[in-house]
Chains A and B, each alone.
Chain A
Amino acid sequence: MGEMLRLDNITKSFPGVLANDRISLDVREGEILALLGENGAGKTTLMNCLYGQLKPDAGQIYWRGRPMEIPDSHAAVSLGIGMVHQHFMLVPVLSVVENVSLGLASTRGLLLDLEYIETRLNTLSREFGLEVNPRAVIWRLPVGAQQRVEILKALYREIQLLILDEPTAVLTPGEVNDLFAVLRRLSARGVSVILITHKLEEVMAISDRVTVLRDGRVVETVKTSDTTPHELAHLMVGREVIFDVHKPPLKQGKIALEVQNIKAVGERGALALNNISFSLHEGEILGFAGVDGNGQQELEEVLCGLRRIREGQVFLHGQEVSHYKPDQLHQLGLAHIPSDRLDRAVAVKLTVEENMVASHISKPPYSRRGILNPKAIRQFVQHSISTFNIQTPSPRAAVATLSGGNQQRVVLASALGHQPRVLIAAQPTRGLDVGLTQQVYERLVQERSRGAAILLISTELQEIFRLSDRIAVMYRGELMGIAPVEKTNVNQIGMMMAGVRLEQQEDSLP
């Protein structure tokens, strides 16, 4: 295998942060290289340097042995480098074909050549098993499909190196398998892949070699077959990581949240929640598993006052709150970790400080009679920054300048900062590194011990099984059943995720 790409002593600093410190690595032809590192280790920054979106302060990029300068992403693409970003870069109102066509020179001069692109896209998607309808409009597609579009967009440009920045964070296990199948096919054709992920099992499953970064430096590059997840975690964090959550026995309290026969309509106009009923007790974690797009997001929105309920009722501590606004729910002690960070959780243009206090701003001590109290705000923020170990040059830095995982920490700090009585946690560890994921698990269990009622929505079965006291599964907007964690197993949950109700399963069990 020949060398395709070599980075030599790449250095990149931002005001107050040295994000990449003399990083050297190489990628061979047809190789899948995993890039591993804690939140803020500098992975995205390095890839942006490679993709021409950032200019390294020092260092040299060699492409097929030649020193290259990559001043922008067009240059990267014309060299044969494609990148799928941590946050997708598609135009939501355009169709798949139109998105692919952006930035391409048309064969027909000024006229768009969409038919041609469409036929080529169809061949490509058949070839690689990337199933997408080329005419679909982006915003109507689920995340998994949007990601396939991003990959198709790169493939269309005949790339030789594909960079994927945390592609699996938003995918369900099935979708991850599909993605990996595509990556293997690519690698068989000599296309190299740089894959960023926080999930060690994935690294072990797909990569040929792993480069581990810590604090902007390369710690080591190892062959995947010569290492173990534990060793990788150790390299990444610099100390032993314990993969176990101690969960004290369940001390179920009163009913905190009760949902009765609710129906709600989703973004695409169809019935997304159909007759859902359940109750959530104090001191309990109720996990909602299931493939994304089966009503979880709508449930999250309904419970947080962000989506109208068509029928049915919701009670919070016995009080009917079916049509309450988000701020009224916050008053009653409800907190929310939104599943889509950039959509609902943070305003990236504003500062860390402002984002952290946004949902508490109208209450004392953060404001009195409408006047902000900077001292109280500063105090809360300083405290949260140290509790959640948020890496930011200052509380006044814009959230946009934080790494993905650190942005998620800001969201967590805001939601957990005030001892919520009911917590709606949707994908709480999305984009977090192993160390912090562990910390968040511990924190959620602490909140549970304190008596908080937690509704956990997650596409990660492991997470669901580790944390939940009871596991619920939704399929096409209907509840397939709720099972106590000690009386169920992955198979049973899997069946429910495929649409078989719990009762039916028990019937068929011997």
Chain B
Amino acid sequence: MKTTFKIPAFLRLKNLQKTALSLWKRLSPPLIAVAAALIVCGVLMLVMNFNPLLAYQALFESAIGNKSAIGTTIIKSLPLLITGLAVTIAYRAEIFNIGVEGQILIGGIFAVWVGTKVTGLPPFIHIPLCMIAGMVGGMAYAWLPAWLKAKRGINEVIVTLLLNYMAALLLSWVVRGPLREPGQLYAKTAEVAQTARLPILVPEMRLHPGIFIALILVVLCYFFLWRTVPGFNIRFVGANQRAAEAAGINVPKTMLTSFLISGSLAGLAGTLHIIGTEYRMLESFLSGFGYDAIAAALVGQLHPFGVLLGGFFFGALRSGSNGMQISLGIPSTLIYVIQALIILFVLASYHIRFGWRWWKREKQMDVFKKEIQPGN
């Protein structure tokens, strides 16, 4: 008998080329945007009399130069990554959940509460309990805007933005009032019980199992969106709500689902940061991470795997900026400039062709006018 050997389809040259091309098409806008942002920021540094090459070297080294730096980067990336997934799932249903910023905090408060007030449980119960509490908290805080959006058609952006302010105020009350650690000068909550803490896997990196949870979530998110009925519905509703309705998809229910999942993911992001790293909440807990996560999700093109890259990238920027400040005295706020530029460039990269065409048209029109006018 003759056995034939078949090369798997995806390994054939033509398909490989195709994959590479489509990968490049997807990856190039964010990459170009990042490069452009770094260049513009470099010019800015030159103007401010800093050496951009040294600055970027410092940034790079303190982001991923050694083990502890990598650890810090990962720890800062995790909340961005998980919240980025939250943003993605909502966005796929055409919901712009800016409220992740507040949902992180409320989830965190719930988790701290369960982590400090509930005691005497073994870790394998206490840890999941905290995580569930955090998810419930995030979900609960997403419920109002979700309901208003799904049933009443009220714009989620305004509602969640207002709720974010409320969440921040709520946190500052909580750390001063009900959950305050007694006898402390600074307002902060007590640390969660030992039984509620995630084990540290690599001490010099302060690495906790949250990273595995995050990676699993990335895959789950992908699976959910592209391999399940609710995920399909979310994407269809996001692509054309009226066609979704006609196809028999329950549009309000789908919106509610996606918004609530989004909220619970944001809550989980806050929780993992507490039970894995900080063990308590300060007033400044993960402040601004929600908004950064939106940026990470956008740069990751609202695709779970893209968000994975985007999350780590923004985490690296965050942790690298400190190093830049310490070693060269460059204000770490400059990192925010870089971030903002990256977002602007990513959004702009879809329109760069437009500018090119405009330029060409103007040129031709000039020629045309010169040719036509005298003849007329």
Contacts and interface: CB of A to CB of B under 8 A. Distances in A.
Contacts of A336: 246
Given A304-B246, A358-B244, A362-B229, A78 B365 contact: yes
Interface string A349-380: 11000100011011000010011101000000
Contact of A347 (B239, B250, B357, B358): B239
Interface string B196-234: 000000000000000000000000000000111110110
A308 interface: no
A345 B249 CA distance: 13
B229 A361 contact: yes
Contact of B243 (A68, A72, A346): A346
B245 A306 contact: yes
A350 B230 contact: no
B370 interface: no
A319 B230 CA distance: 29
Nearest to B231: A372
Interface in A65-112: 66, 68-69, 71-72, 74-75, 78-79
A343 interface: yes
A188 B246 CA distance: 45
Nearest to B226: A372
A371 B228 CA distance: 4
Interface string A141-154: 00000000000000
A359 B247 contact: yes
Contacts of A326: 245-248
B242 interface: yes
B243 A345 contact: yes
A346 B240 contact: yes
B249 A358 contact: yes
B361 A74 contact: yes
Contacts of A344: 242-243, 245-246
B248 A71 contact: no
Contact of B371 (A66, A72, A306, A349): A66
Contacts of B243: 338, 343-347, 358
A481 B291 CA distance: 61
B235 interface: yes
Contact of B364 (A69, A304, A367): A69
A324 to B, nearest CB: 10
B289 interface: no
B364 A372 contact: no
Given A71-B357, A71-B360, A372-B229, A338 B246 contact: yes
Contact of B229 (A354, A370, A374): A370
B236 interface: yes
Contacts of B245: 306, 326, 344
A325 B248 contact: yes
B361 A348 contact: no
A35 B250 CA distance: 42
Given A74-B361, A304-B246, A325-B250, A354 B240 contact: no
B239 A72 contact: no
A330 interface: yes
B250 A327 contact: yes
A302 to B, nearest CB: 13
Contacts of B239: 347-350
A309 B242 CA distance: 18
B70 to A, nearest CB: 36
A5 to B, nearest CB: 15
Contacts of B228: 367, 370-372
A72 B250 contact: no
A367 B229 contact: yes
Contacts of A304: 246
A306 B246 contact: yes
A303 B247 CA distance: 14
Interface in B239-267: 239-240, 242-250
Interface residues of B, number: 28
B-side interface mostly? helix
Contacts of A350: 235-236, 239
Contacts of A66: 371
Most chain A CB within a 10 A radius of its CB, from B227, B239, B358, B360: B239
Given A72-B357, A347-B236, A372-B229, A358 B250 contact: no
Contacts of A349: 239-240
A401 to B, nearest CB: 14
Contacts of B247: 326, 358-359
Contacts of A327: 248-250
Interface string A302-322: 001010000000000000000
Contacts of B360: 69, 71
Nearest to A357: B232
Contacts of B358: 72
B89 to A, nearest CB: 16
B365 A75 contact: yes
Interface string B332-376: 000000000000000000000000011011001100100100000
A71 B236 contact: no
A372 B225 CA distance: 10
A354 B249 contact: no
Contact of B232 (A74, A329, A338, A372): A372
Nearest to B227: A372
Given A71-B361, A361-B232, A347 B244 contact: yes
Given A327-B248, A343-B242, A72 B361 contact: yes
A66 B364 CA distance: 12
Given A72-B358, A74-B361, A354 B236 contact: yes
A327 B368 CA distance: 58
A307 to B, nearest CB: 11
Contacts of A374: 227
A350 B226 CA distance: 12
B230 A75 contact: no
A288 B12 CA distance: 54
A336 B242 CA distance: 14
Nearest to A66: B371
Nearest to B371: A66
B117 to A, nearest CB: 36
A71 B229 contact: no
B240 A348 contact: yes
Contacts of A68: 364, 368
Nearest to B364: A69
A362 B253 CA distance: 14
Given A66-B371, A359-B247, 17 more contacts: A71-B364, A72-B357, A72-B361, A78-B365, A326-B245, A326-B248, A344-B245, A346-B243, A347-B243, A348-B239, A349-B240, A350-B236, A354-B236, A361-B233, A370-B228, A371-B227, A372-B228
30 contacts: A69-B364, A71-B357, A71-B360, A71-B364, A72-B361, A75-B365, A306-B245, A306-B246, A325-B250, A326-B246, A327-B249, A338-B243, A345-B243, A346-B240, A347-B236, A348-B239, A348-B240, A349-B240, A350-B239, A358-B249, A359-B246, A361-B233, A362-B229, A367-B228, A371-B228, A371-B229, A372-B226, A372-B228, A372-B229, A372-B232
Interface of A: 66, 68-69, 71-72, 74-75, 78-79, 304, 306, 325-327, 329-330, 336, 338, 343-350, 354, 358-359, 361-362, 367, 370-372, 374
Sorted nearest first, the 10 A-B pairs with minimum C-beta distance are A327-B248, A347-B239, A347-B240, A359-B247, A358-B247, A326-B248, A344-B246, A349-B239, A71-B360, A71-B361
Interface of B: 226-230, 232-233, 235-236, 239-240, 242-250, 357-358, 360-361, 364-365, 368, 371
